[in-house]
Amino acid sequence: MRARLAPLISGLAVIDETLADFLQSGLACAVATRDARLVPDCVLAVGVRIERDRRHATVFVHDTISRRTLANLKHNGQIAVTLEHLPDHHAIQLKGEVTRVAAATEADIADATRFHAGFVKEIEYVGVAPRFSRRLAFLPCHAVTFRVEAIFEQTPGPKAGACLKEAP
Amino acid sequence: MSTRLSDLMDCFQGVVPTGIATCSLDGRPNVTFLSYVKYLDERHVALSCQFFNKTKRNIAENPVAAIWLMHPVTLEAHRLVIRFLRSEFKGPLFDEMALRIDVIASHTGMSGVFRLLSADIYEVLEIEPVEGHVLPAAEAAEALAAPPVAFRVKGTRGELAALQALSDRISRAECLERLIDALLDSTTELFDVQHAMVLLYDETRSRLYTLDSRGYGRGGSGAEVGLGEGLIGAVARSRKPLRVSHAGSDLRYGRAIRRGVEGSKEADKLSREIPLPGLHDAQSQLVLPLVARGRLVGVLALESRDPLKFSDWHESFLNVAANQAALAIANLQEQEEPEDARPAGESKRLKPLAGRKRAFTFYPQDDAVFVDGQYLIRNLPGRILWKILREFVSGKRHEFTNRELRLDNALGLPPLKDNLESRLILLRKRLEEKCPDVRMVPVRRGAFALESDSELTLSESAQP
């Protein structure tokens, strides 16, 4: 069973282990970027890996559907990623600036495969039949690493959007 | 645009998450998941605003947003680029969107705390199918090719034939009980809906009571809902139809918000969560108000375990039937049924079978009647039952007329719109469900006999 998030996050300087476990548990993951005219783009991503320094995260995006996302990131590097546990809508948003974009390595693909399997379970929980959920494509993918500048509560409700931690 | 917005209707039902991305003027993107996107026309959608959040602030600075939509069955995706036009704070669209929020709030004990602030209208600038999001499969095409409604009436004009059949059955009904039967049987048979119930409105108590149902087994008659309570109560209060395609998701969404409110200064305004009526695992519901000449008569509620059972089309189509049924119910309620002139007491009184006994207890505090320790009925139908049971047991008589019940001041029937017939139907059904060996049998128009296969004993108790 997942722990409640907000009390565990507040006051942390970096992404702590509990939050990292939550973010890497196979959730619905959406990525926002924007172009030079400030037109935003939204894409469903595979999942997020929290890096060892707990200040960087890597989000995996499916190449075929994320061309606009990758182009936007190449232009300005601004990224927002929201991860939501569909059964109870607990959600967190990470915002930051991209430091590295590269085709996924074998280790990346292993992580992405695990996140994708978790998301498939989530979406089946809300009623999608396995014969359709198992058709979701996620390979080949890119690994997009970004410096986490701010963490926001994103669970629907009066506290949604509250900044839980901003990088110094 | 090669893809029309109306081609994406199923994607708007909120079964799977919809993402929305915005961007502030300083170039920082933001992304969150939406619970609901409402289709307005081929170029416009509406989003509901319950909190003044970052999405709303970004839109105030930079009115363009991107939406990621997925089909709830096949997961095929579309990307929409939209531009904010205006917020509406009243009017038909606001009321319609507020009703959905009110239902979630009512079910999760957040009435007055969680509410619609505005209906935000956006122009759709681009619709782009996202190629490659799902692997191709014949199954997807197969699922999409299925007709939205499985009509039991076959033919080139199956839907019109179904409506005509329903209309004919309603028109031919001679009494309220046959009318409710016609409405429920037609809905379930012709429209392939397994679970349906009719609730009538009791104006004197501002409550709805279940008169009859299909698909719930025995024991559903008499269940009550307060005006404004839950999905059915909210529809009754607003007198507008409501369709919920993902009841489980709505409740999870409501509970997530409630947890947030629990830790806020508004926590003391929360009340208990109201259990859903009918199916505990219903995934879609269509609730239609029965309104005649501007007066609320009742509610027709349909449920399914299929999250996509009801479409826009069902809502419009069945609303036509509901309107006709409402008029017919109102007509039957308002006209006092002509009574046969023969005096009461001509039918033969049955003798109880040896060894069978029933003990009825009356609780005057809330006019409740229990049989063998089990709750049977209360309020006005409870008083009626107690009157006829007493006269039956005392040996005086076993036949009763509607007219004498109306004239009995002790029963306290309202002078106008007394709904006596619907209360007698409810009483008869409750007896059928709880003690079928005691029956109310129509003997002629406006009169009925009480029959019992059991020996009856009566007692009154002041203790609830």
Q: Tell me whether residues B32 and A78 touch, CB distance under 8 A.
A: no
B126-185, pLDDT tens digit by residue?
Answer: 999 998 888 876 544 544 444 444 444 444 456 777 778 888 888 888 888 888 999 998
Q: Does B112 touch chain A (CB under 8 A)?
A: no
> Residue A140's closest chain B neighbor by CA?
B132
**Nearest beta carbon to residue B257 from set A41, A132, A156:** A156
In the predicted model, is pLDDT for residue A7 greater than 50?
no
Smallest CA–CA distance, residue A17 to chain B, in Å, is 23
Which 70-89 residues of chain B touch chain A by CB within 8 A? 70, 72-75, 77, 79, 81
Nearest Cα of chain A lies from the Cα of B119 at a distance, in angstroms, of 17
Mean pLDDT score across all residues of chain B: 82
Q: What is the DSSP letter of A13?
A: S
- Scanning the structure block, which residue is given the tokens 């076959």? B154
Q: Which of B5-14, B78-87, B311-320, B334-343 has the highest mean pLDDT?
A: B78-87
Kindly list the strands in the beta sheet with B18-23, ordered across the sheet, starting from the edge strand earlier in the chain.
B29-34, B18-23, B64-70, B77-88, B118-130, B44-49, B37-41
Nearest to B261 among A34, A123, A158 (CB): A158
Contact A123 B16 (CB under 8 A): yes
The three-class DSSP label of residue B116 is coil
- Band (pLDDT 50/70/90 cuts) for residue B93 is very high
- Residues of B with CB below 8 A from A135's CB? 74-75, 134-135, 137, 140
Determine the pLDDT at residue B361: 93
**The predicted structure's pLDDT at residue A74:** 96
**How far B116 CA sits from the closest chain A CA (Å)?**
12
Question: Is there a contact between B213 and B181 (Cβ–Cβ < 8 Å)?
Answer: no
- B211 near B180, Cβ under 8 Å? yes
Whether residue B28 and residue A78 make contact (CB cut-off 8 A), yes or no, is yes
C-beta atoms of A44 and B133 within 8 A: yes
The pLDDT, as a whole number, for residue B349 is 64
User: For A155, which residue in chain B has the nearest alpha carbon?
Assistant: B256
Which tokens in the block code for residue A125?
Answer: 């929980």
pLDDT of residue B87: 95
A65:B130 CB<8 A: yes
CB of B73 closer than 8 Å to CB of B283: no
Enumerate the domain spans of chain A.
6-155
Which of B32, B74, B250, B309 to mutate to test binding with chain A, by most A CBs within 10 Å of its CB?
B32
Q: How many whole angstroms separate alpha carbon B118 and alpha carbon B346?
A: 65
- Rounded to 5°, the CA angle B269-B273-B276 comes to 145
> To the nearest whole angstrom, how far is the Cα of A83 from the nearest Cα of chain B?
9
- Among A6-10, A137-141, B83-87, B194-198, the range scoring the smallest mean pLDDT is A6-10
Q: Under a CB-based contact definition with an 8 Å cutoff, are residues B127 and B80 in contact?
A: yes
pLDDT at B248 (0 to 100): 67
pLDDT at residue B257 is higher than 90: no
- Residue B382 CB coordination number (10 Å): 22
Q: pLDDT digit string (tens) for B45-74?
A: 999 888 778 999 999 999 999 999 998 888
Residues 101-160 of A with CB under 8 A from B: 123, 126-129, 131-133, 135-137, 152, 154-160
Query: Residue A103: which residues within 8 A CB-CB, separation 6 or more?
Result: A140, A142, A143
Least confident of A78-92, B138-152, B326-340, B397-411: B138-152
For A37-72, write each residue's pLDDT tens digit: 999 999 999 999 999 999 999 999 999 999 999 999
Distance from CA of B26 to the nearest CA of A (A): 9
The beta-carbon neighbor of B249 closest among A39, A41, A126 is A126
Amino acid at B112: G
Look at residue B448 and give its three-state secondary structure: strand
Ramachandran quadrant class, B372 (left: phi over 0; alpha: psi -120 to 50; beta: rest):
left
Q: What percentage of chain A exceeds 90 in pLDDT?
A: 62
Instruction: Give the gap in angstroms from C-alpha B297 to the nearest C-alpha of chain A.
Output: 35
Question: Which of A30-44, B261-275, B355-369 is least confident?
Answer: B261-275
Q: Which of A102-116, B2-16, B137-151, B397-411 has the highest mean pLDDT?
A: A102-116
Count H helices and E strands in chain A, helices first. Answer: 5, 8
Q: What is the model's pLDDT at position A69?
A: 96
pLDDT value for B397: 82
ipTM (interface pTM):
0.91
Cβ under 8 Å to B: A residues 67-106: 76, 78-82, 84, 86-91, 93, 95
More confident residue, B449 or B223: B449
For residues B216 and B223, the answer to whether their CB atoms sit within 8 Å is no
The alpha-carbon gap from B131 to the nearest alpha carbon of chain A, in Å, equals 7
The count of CB pairs under 8 A between chains A and B is 184
Whether chain B has a CB inside 8 Å of the CB on A38: the answer is: yes
Q: Which of A71, A30, A95 is nearest to B79 (CA)?
A: A30
What span, in angstroms and rounded, lies between the C-alpha atoms of B332 and B417?
Answer: 10
pLDDT at B321: 87
- CATH 2.30.110.10: does it fit domain A6-155? yes
Query: Does the CB of A34 have a partner CB in chain B at under 8 Å?
Result: yes
> Cα angle vertex B328, ends B429, B383, to 5°?
35
Question: Which of A18-22, B15-19, B81-85 shows the lowest mean pLDDT across its residues?
Answer: B15-19
Instruction: For chain A, report the end-to-end CA distance as a whole number of angstroms.
Output: 32
Q: Which helix (H) or strand (E) holds B314?
A: helix B312-334
Local structure of B318: helix, strand or coil: helix
Query: CB distance A133–B75 less than 8 Å?
Result: yes
B283-338 confidence digits (pLDDT tens):
788 889 999 988 999 999 998 877 777 877 778 888 888 999 999 988 887 776 55
Q: Which domains are assigned to chain B?
A: 5-130 (2.30.110.10), 152-246+283-334 (3.30.450.40), 357-460 (1.10.10)
Q: How does residue B345 score in pLDDT terms, banded at 50, 70 and 90?
A: low
